[in-house]
Structure 1
Amino acid sequence: MDSPLWKILGFFLAAVLLFLVPVMNMLERQDSAAYTVVFTETIRFVDSARDTGYITPNMYNEFVNRIHTTGCTFEIRIEHVKSMISPVYRQNGQVLEFTGEYEINRIAQGEDAILSVLFPDDPSLDAFDKARRYDMKAGDLLFVEVKNSGKTMATALRDMILLSDTQVPTLFVRAGGLVRNEAY
């Protein structure tokens, strides 16, 4: 049977195989390269902050500018967990006795607290002013999470082909750890 329907179907299949598959492959490679850039820059920013014990506005702006070179928009979350070590005492009558134990209290500082120090409402402060530096102590924890807030081209094309709506971010990076030094 030499039906025109089969010819149209064959032409459509050829168009998909000759056009969409290579384009999809190229866009997925672009996503892979963007992921590599975001991963590398996030690790660089976190390691720099952990090694120095502080975050400056220039460090943060450089980090944001470098990840935005990928052409994607990102949602960045920063969390600093302060560690406070307190000795545990027991009251014995009128005297406090040290029990030989220590208690670790952790207080989480969110992104708003960090960014309010880096970028205060006072415009008279210079970018290099120490009041605009967010200081951390050795033993504290710092975590940074970066995820794309929009769809990448590969995700948009895949959603168009499969008639779906992907809600999961394509580029998602977490980094963090213990602050190792206080270089201020």
Structure 2
Amino acid sequence: MDSFSKIVAIIISILLLFVAPLMYLTQKQDMISQVYVSNETASLVDSIRNTGYLSSEMYTAFLRKISATNVSYQISIVHAHKLVEPLFDDVTASYTDEYVSYYENTYDEDIRKALEENGEYSFSKGDYITIKVVNQSETLGTKLQKMIYRANIPKEQIVVTYGGLIRSETN
């Protein structure tokens, strides 16, 4: 019975000395990656908001910077363009003095296509830009948690959404 307690003590010691610090370090690395991707996304969006355009060089530099985390990401870009139209009165068959405003969205497929064709995608003052970045590959912390906890842990551990109003004075 004494040898059994020694084996249990050795297993607990291994867990406390090696596995717990390793889990802490991998989770800390995920947090650092989250902050880094968040800062780079904010930097890109703020640059777009100030200049009123997204160039292929800006987008490529952003992709290169976030790929330094050794994690693959899915990036979604949404451009909401504000449109204002006068109201139409069906009874008098004429336009009224009132106006309605709404947003027409352009999504990342069309934006990437414009970047490939023109090298630039332009925004108008008053539009909204939103960029969402979600990791697609499992981080080391996620893999370790799945192995130890034997649980179904979602692989999306790094999720960043940032956006704002285009305030470019040039457009």
> Fold conserved (TM > 0.5)?
yes
The letter for the 1-side match of 2:126 is G
Q: In 2, distance between residues paired with 1:170 and 1:31?
A: 7
Residue of structure 2 aligned with 1:136, choices 120, 123, 139: 123
Which position in structure 2 is the counterpart of 1:98? 96
Matched, 1:11 2:10: yes
The structure that is helix-richer by fraction is: 2
CA gap 1:93/1:84 in 2 versus in 1, 3 angstroms: closer
Q: In 2, distance between residues paired with 1:182 and 1:115?
A: 24
The TM-score, its normalising length taken from structure 1, stands at 0.86
Q: In 1, distance between residues paired with 2:45 and 2:112?
A: 15
The letter for the 2-side match of 1:148 is N
CA gap 1:117/1:11 in 2 versus in 1, 3 angstroms: same
Tell me the SS of whatever aligns to 1:114: helix
Q: Give how far 1:93 is off.
A: 4.7
Aligned partners of 2:86 and 2:95 also within 8 Å:
no
Tell me the SS of whatever aligns to 1:87: strand
What 5-or-longer segments of structure 2 have no aligned partner?
A: none
Tell me the SS of whatever aligns to 2:153: coil
Tell me the SS of whatever aligns to 1:119: helix
Which position in structure 1 is the counterpart of 2:78? 79
CA gap 1:91/1:163 in 2 versus in 1, 3 angstroms: closer
Task: Summarize the alignment of residues 1-184 of structure 1 with structure 2, pairs less than 5 Å apart.
Answer: 1-2=1-2, 4-90=3-89, 93=92, 96-99=94-97, 101-120=98-117, 131-183=118-170
Q: After superposing the two structures, state which structure 1 stretch, 137-146 or 82-91, moved more.
A: 82-91
Q: Give how far 1:180 is off.
A: 1.1
Aligned partners of 2:87 and 2:96 also within 8 Å:
yes
The letter for the 2-side match of 1:6 is S
Over the residues paired in the alignment, what is the CA RMSD in angstroms?
Answer: 1.7
Aligned partners of 1:145 and 1:174 also within 8 Å:
yes
Aligned partners of 2:38 and 2:160 also within 8 Å:
yes
Identity of aligned residues (%): 29
Count, aligned residues: 171
The letter for the 2-side match of 1:104 is S
Aligned partners of 1:137 and 1:182 also within 8 Å:
no
What 5-or-longer segments of structure 1 have no aligned partner?
A: 121-130
Aligned partners of 2:56 and 2:119 also within 8 Å:
yes
Tell me the SS of whatever aligns to 2:132: strand
Q: In 2, distance between residues paired with 1:17 and 1:55?
A: 49
Q: Give how far 1:153 is off.
A: 0.7
The TM-score, its normalising length taken from structure 2, stands at 0.92
